[in-house]
Amino acid sequence: MGRPVGDRDQIPPRLEPHDRRRPFHQRQQLLRLQAEVGEGNGAEAFFTQFSFLGFDPRGKRDKYANYFTNNRNIMLIQRAYALENPRKWSGYGDDAWGFSAGVNNGGGRPLQRDDNGTLEVHAALGAMPIRRRDRCALRHYYRDLGPRLWGVYGFPDSFNESQGWYEEAYMALDQAQTVAMIENYRTGLLWKLFMSNPKSSPRSTGSVL
């Protein structure tokens, strides 16, 4: 059984979205969309989505960003890059996108230098509660690519249609992201449970209003 949450679990009173080595606050325009904060070029899904599996970004903002809007724009940047598809890989489109850390991912960001034709399934599915109207990736991956993508534990990590490569392994980390965000899309359950703890309150962080 887990131990009770105590004072030592209190979130530090000041959280700054950067450190001296790798700035996290870097406002930039990517594919005509604004990214206020983010890792790397600001449009990689890993830090964006894993940071908000439990912490609900809706209505959360500080001097750096509106976090729900920022998360949504990062996902829109990814989708816009897949639609533009500057390297002309097979399989990219409105219902097939997603760039993040994962197997055979090239660089995991929507940039030509980091794009080797691999799509990370969990990146698109993890965006479902952020872009509630966009369920087409889930339908496409399951209905159209299901015989190659769907297995005993659900979706694997990634695939590359240009290479004819479909990952056979399942990464628990990315499975967790997919399951958590689909449930947040359906009911908001994880967001509700996490935010119901007083230690998770935005006021307790001293940084998010």
**Domains of the chain by residue range:** 22-205
Strands 33-37 and 25-30: antiparallel
Question: Is the predicted pLDDT of residue 70 greater than 60, yes or no?
Answer: yes
Number of Cα atoms under 13 Å in the Cβ half of residue 148: 13
Residue pair 77/67 in contact (Cβ under 8 Å)? The answer is: no
Helices (H), 67-201: 67-84, 121-125, 136-139, 146-149, 172-186, 189-195
Provide the pLDDT for residue 150: 93
Instruction: Give which of 47, 43, 53 is closest to 182, Cα–Cα.
Output: 53
pTM: 0.81
Percent of the chain with pLDDT over 90: 42
Provide the pLDDT for residue 202: 63
CATH of 22-205, one of 2.60.120.40, 1.20.120.140, 1.50.10.140, 1.10.3720.10: 1.50.10.140
